[in-house]
Every structure is written in C-alpha cells, then in structure tokens.
A and B are shown apart, each in its own frame.
Chain A
Amino acid sequence: MNKLLMDGEKKTLDEGIDVVEVKGENILYLIHHQVETLKIYMEENATLTVYDFCLGGKNRQIEVFQNGHSKIAYIHSFKATKNYHFTYLVNLRGNENVNNICIRGISNSEATLNIEGNVVEGGKNNELNEDIKVLTVGGSASVSPILNVSALETLANHTTAISNIREDVLFYFLSKGIDSKQAIELIENSYLYGMFKNTEFFNMIK
C-alpha cells in the first residue's frame, strides 16, 4: 500500500499511490493512466477537490471515506476509446459531510459507471450529489447509481443524461456558420474539458 498524506496541498498524484489521507484544504490532480484503484480518507473538516481526466486510460475504482464535517468535489471527465469501467464508492459517516461528484464523458466504445453512495446510520445533515452526463459517439454507456441512505436528514441527488449529439445543438452551431466537423469537435471538447476551464488543470491536460 503506497500512501500519500495531503495537508493543505495541490498535487498531481504519482503513479503507484493507492491511498490518500486528507487534512485541511487540498486539490488533487489525476491524469490518464496513473490510477487504477484509489482510497481517499478524509479527516474531519478536510476539504478536497479532485480533478480526474482519463483519455482512453485504465479502469478506475475510487473509494471515499468521510467521517464528519468534510467536503469532497470529485470532477471526472473521460473518453472511452475502449471499454471503460469507473466505480465510485462513497461512505459517509458522522455529520455534515458533503460529497459532490460530477462526471462528463464521451463513449466511443462501452462505458460503465457504477456510483454507490452509503450514508451510514447515526449521522445527520449529510449531502451527496451525483451529476453525470455521457455523450455517446459510436459507443454506448450505462450508469448504475445506488444510494443506500440510513441516516436522518440526508440529501441525496442523482442525475444522469446519456445522449448522442443533440440535433438542436448541432443546428445551433451550424446556424452560426460552424461546419459540422468543427461543431462536433466543439461539442466533444465541451464534455472532455468544459468542467476544467478557468482552472490550472485545464492547461495541464490540454
């Protein structure tokens, strides 16, 4: 087990690290192939933003443990040029944890996303938000959300949209004089890079 301790840091995850322990306010960057499995342990009052970009990379399994008053934003974009499996497991214990996961992806092959949130009995005022959009371009996608909520006053939201390129969006671009090849490129890039614009991470992955 290779462990990384984060305490008020901004860091790109090194290859081989499979456990991250988090204190204070932190930003973690994951790029391409570096990670297959990762466990993230959040201390009380810790905050973490994870930017995770995967272009035709390996499957990922991320497991998050929050034990009270912690906040994590997991922002993931992927392009599945071959079969891609992404699993995100959340365990919320104690009170007032927030877990926001936002995924945008393009599937040229087969993308499978398993998102499982467990809010453990005994805590309260926890929040779990899942927002997933996948663009299928010659591929398919399936999203399996599981929410196990056993605690009081929990707010849990899940949104998924899987779609081909929308005709109205394409027409909008064409009507501005953008040819269909460029328009499709803009749409695909919006899924891959849109969430990272105006961040340092955008320049790193571009």
Chain B
Amino acid sequence: MLQIEHLTVSIEGKVILRDFSLSIKKGEIACLMGPNGIGKSTICKVLMGDPHYKVEAGSIFYKGEDLVSLDVVERSHKGIYLVSQNPISIEGVTNAEMLRAALESKTGEKSNFFEFNKKAKAICEKLDIPLEFIHRGVNEGMSGGEKKKNELLHLYLLEPDLILLDELDSGLDIDSLKTLSESLSQYKTKEKSILIITHHISILEYLHPDTVHILKNGRIINSGDYNLAKKIEADGFSAYEVCEEETYE
C-alpha cells in the first residue's frame, strides 16, 4: 500500500529525515517508535502533505501512485487520514458541517441530509459517542480523550484506507486508550492499514502491530515484530543508542 524509499525531508533548511525507507502492506499495522523530538511525527505530516515540509530526495508511492505530486486534498480523497497528537478545536464549525463538506468534496455529489444524519447517528452509537457530538463545534470544548473519539467519528464517516496515528496515546487514560483502540480494531479490515507513531508500548497491547521500527537520526535502525516493542519497553530506547535530539517533530 505504501512504499517510502530513501526519503530526505527538511523544514526551513534543516534536514529531519535522512534516507528514510519504510514499506507498509495492505492490511498491515506498522509501528514507528522512538523518543520525543526525533522526527516521528514528521513522517505523518509528510505523508499528509503538510507544505511546511520539503521532500529533498527519495520517493513515496501510495497504491502505486506518486504521493509527492499530490496535494493534501487529493491525498485525503485517495484515503489517507491523519489523527493528530493534539487535534485542533474550531469554534463555530460543527462536525456535521465539516463532514458533509468533506464527503461532498470527495464524492462530487451533494450529501443527503437525512442519510448523513442516519449514518452519523449509527456510528456514534457504535463508538459510544454522545449523539450531540454530531452538531458540536469541531473538537470544541472537548477533553483530550473526547477530541480523539471525535476524530474517530470523522474517520468512520470518511472511510480512509491508510490511517496515520500520531501519538494517539498521548494524554489519554488507559480506559480511553482501550476504547479508542477497540474502535480502531473494529474499523480495520484486511484492506486497511495503520501506521502507529508512539513512544509507549501501551497502545500496542490493544492494536497489535505486525511490524515495529525504531527511528534514529532520521532513519530506521532496527525493525522487528511486537517482541521488539516489548524489548524497548524493558530496556529503553537508550539500549539502541537512540536518544532525544533537538529537532522538529
């Protein structure tokens, strides 16, 4: 599904990723680990097409298509979805308004008000999200856990194929993390892939990754399965000579 090869990325002239390669198969759950400040979040932003990041070299192919040539909207329409570490709040725009605009943009058709509400209501019930979320401002007045639940409501409605979880576990209590992980597991099929960015193992206990990669100096230095994550939990990142660096996330 995703093939990143020899990617070098910079921001404001500073190189964040160097010769970074990563492959994610259809249906795979991949995990990228490393301490804070090492460039993990950069991967998500680059894949989503954040214009602040400049691809200096290398390639990204998604479903066989050159991703670098696509803008943010096109990437979203192709099925890439980012759950940010701190989803922003937008006063005065409701979830319903935003999601209907997103669906209309994606399909090119006017969304049916009643069908949208019916589908959104069913998703809220499935995810145990209060129905009033649909007509609340985007992440407005929500706690950290509620914001991430809200992002999953968006995800279920927009039906992406590649989900980028940028530290989903950040700021969540264990119950919220478990609930959100279960919701993601329910969504995940053999057609969908997930990239988990984290520095904790707790989320991996619920979303069992097929592959685990450790990032250092902007490139992957070690790869393995879930056991690698358990080793990191036991030994720490320092055992792999990975330490926090002064760089952009």
Interface residues of A (CB under 8 A from B): 104, 168-169, 171-180, 182-183, 186-187, 189-191, 193-195, 197-198
Cβ B93 vs Cβ A189 within 8 A: yes
- B158 interface residue, CB < 8 Å from A? yes
Across the interface, B88 reaches (CB within 8 A) one of A168, A174, A191, A197, namely A168
Q: Tell me which residues from 112 to 135 in chain B have a Cβ below 8 Å from any Cβ of chain A.
A: 135
Cβ A194 vs Cβ B72 within 8 A: no
Across the interface, B135 reaches (CB within 8 A) one of A174, A179, A191, A198, namely A198
User: Which stretch, B57-65, B98-106, B188-196, touches the partner chain A?
Assistant: B98-106
Across the interface, B91 reaches (CB within 8 A) one of A177, A183, A190, namely A190
Q: Which residues of B contact A187 (CB under 8 A)?
A: 90, 93
Given contacts A104-B92, A178-B105, A182-B101, contact A194 B137 (CB under 8 A): yes
- B183 interface residue, CB < 8 Å from A? no
Indicate the size class of the contact surface on chain B: 20 to 34
Across the interface, B73 reaches (CB within 8 A) one of A168, A169, A177, namely A177
Across the interface, B48 reaches (CB within 8 A) one of A175, A195, A197, namely A175
Known: A175-B82, A176-B98, A194-B137. 7 other contacts (CB 8 A): A172-B88, A172-B90, A174-B72, A175-B49, A178-B102, A186-B97, A189-B93
Chain A minimum-CB-distance residue to B104:
A182
- B77 interface residue, CB < 8 Å from A? yes
- B154 interface residue, CB < 8 Å from A? yes
Across the interface, B102 reaches (CB within 8 A) one of A176, A190, A191, namely A176
Q: What CA separation (Å) do A127 and B216 show in the bound complex?
A: 54
Q: What CA separation (Å) do A194 and B140 show in the bound complex?
A: 12
- B217 interface residue, CB < 8 Å from A? no
Q: What CA separation (Å) do A197 and B88 show in the bound complex?
A: 20
Cβ B90 vs Cβ A177 within 8 A: no
Q: What CA separation (Å) do A160 and B106 show in the bound complex?
A: 36
- B50 interface residue, CB < 8 Å from A? yes
Q: Which residues of A contact B88 (CB under 8 A)?
A: 168-169, 172
Q: Which residues of B contact A180 (CB under 8 A)?
A: 73
Cβ B105 vs Cβ A177 within 8 A: yes
Cβ A182 vs Cβ B105 within 8 A: yes
- B94 interface residue, CB < 8 Å from A? yes
Q: Tell me which residues from 58 to 80 in chain B have a Cβ below 8 Å from any Cβ of chain A.
A: 71-73, 75-77
